[in-house]
Structures are given as structure tokens and as C-alpha cells.
Structure 1
Amino acid sequence: MARDGQFVLRTNAHYFLGNSHLTGLKLRVYPTPRAALIALRAGKVDMAPVPPIDASAVATWPKVRLSTTTAPDYLMVGWNFTDTLFSSPMLRQALGYAVNRPAIVASTLAGYGIVAQGML
């Protein structure tokens, strides 16, 4: 990575399927998702990941098209087995049932996620 926080990739002239339609690609690393969104809105980058909580606002920006895709990601709630408070399997099971998973997905992923079923 260069000092300015960017990777510069060039096409491989020896690629077995022939020439690419691209001559290269620049990837810039931003310190925070917010910084990447600021660059996207300013037109400094062509593409940036958008946190679900910001998707509805980004969708209203002129010259920006919001596209969604599924991603293999998860959020986990776990119990500290070394704490005697959680030593009872029945208590852990009850807590597992008590967690409102749909509410967590709705509040953290703004409608862009699904509740997983079973163990992952």
C-alpha cells in the first residue's frame, strides 16, 4: 500500500483469458466507514460499502446508485461460561430464548438482514 492509503492494481498482460476491459484499478483505504461515505458523496470514489443504518440516506444522494447484496456476516450474542452466573445450561437456554433476534436484526441492520436459524 502506498503512503496515501491506496493500492494500485494493473491488468495482467499474460492473463490466460486475454485482455481485460480495465487498464487498472485503484483501491483506497479509509480509516472509518464514515470517511468512505464522505468520499463517495464528494465524488472522490466510485464505490464504497454503505452501513445498513446509512442506506436510506445514501439512496437519496444524487449521482449515487445504491445496490444491495447478501454477505456472509453475523452478529453473535454469547455467554461467559467461566462466570458462575452462567454455569446453568437451563439459564443459558432461557436467555437464548429471551433474546429478541428479529428486533436486533431490525434495529442494527435497518431491514437489510435476516435472522439466522439454528447454529452457524
Structure 2
Amino acid sequence: MNKNLRYDVAIMSSIIFILNIEAIVYMRTHKNKAIENVVLASNAYSIGGICHTSGFCVFFGLLYSISPHLALLYLGLPCLLCFVAVMIAPGCPYVWKGLCNKVQGLRDWWEHVNRPQSVS
């Protein structure tokens, strides 16, 4: 890999890491403030989703240019599942609720099957 590319990726990762920590600290220290403008918050949520999706697409494109195998198999498929769960499912609450109920039913069934049986 090119030395300059490694340096740029390391610097970018450090900056993103610092920004994430700063955002978490800010949210934890300012949690008592309520959202007053609901329309503005909804618009901000939509724009944030679009920005995160486009940023991931740019990152995925750069990763694909370095290694198609790594991008498609190790990052593409798990992130696609996460994308569907996080970005699309909350927009369809009935589908999301049905999926959660099915997962809970499978979890209950699995606990029933794995429960120790009493021998008398």
C-alpha cells in the first residue's frame, strides 16, 4: 500500500475517532435539554441519514478500489444488513414490529428447547 495513503487513512481515522468521542461526551453532558422544534429535528434526521448513506457509499467505493474481495464479502454484506435494519425498518414500523415479534418468538422457542429437562 502507498505510504501516503496509509498516512491519510490513519489521520482520517483519528479525526473521526476524536469527533465521535466529542459527540458522545456532548450528548451525555447535555441530555436534560428537550427538543423544541420537532419539524426541524425531523428534517435533521432525514439529512443525517442521507449524509451517512452517501459517506458510506464513498468509503465503500474507495475500499472497493483497493480490494474488491474485502469490500464485498467482509464489509458489504454485514453493512447491508445493518443498513436495512437501521435506515429502512424504522420507516416501516409495522414491518419492524412484525420482525421483532418473530425474532422474540424464535428466542422463546430456543430457550424452551434448551431448557434442562427434569428426569423423574
Q: Same fold (TM over 0.5)?
A: no
Ranked by relative contact order (alpha carbons within 8 Å, sequence separation 6 or more), the top structure is 1
Q: Which TM bucket (shorter chain)?
A: under 0.3
TM-score by length of 2: 0.24
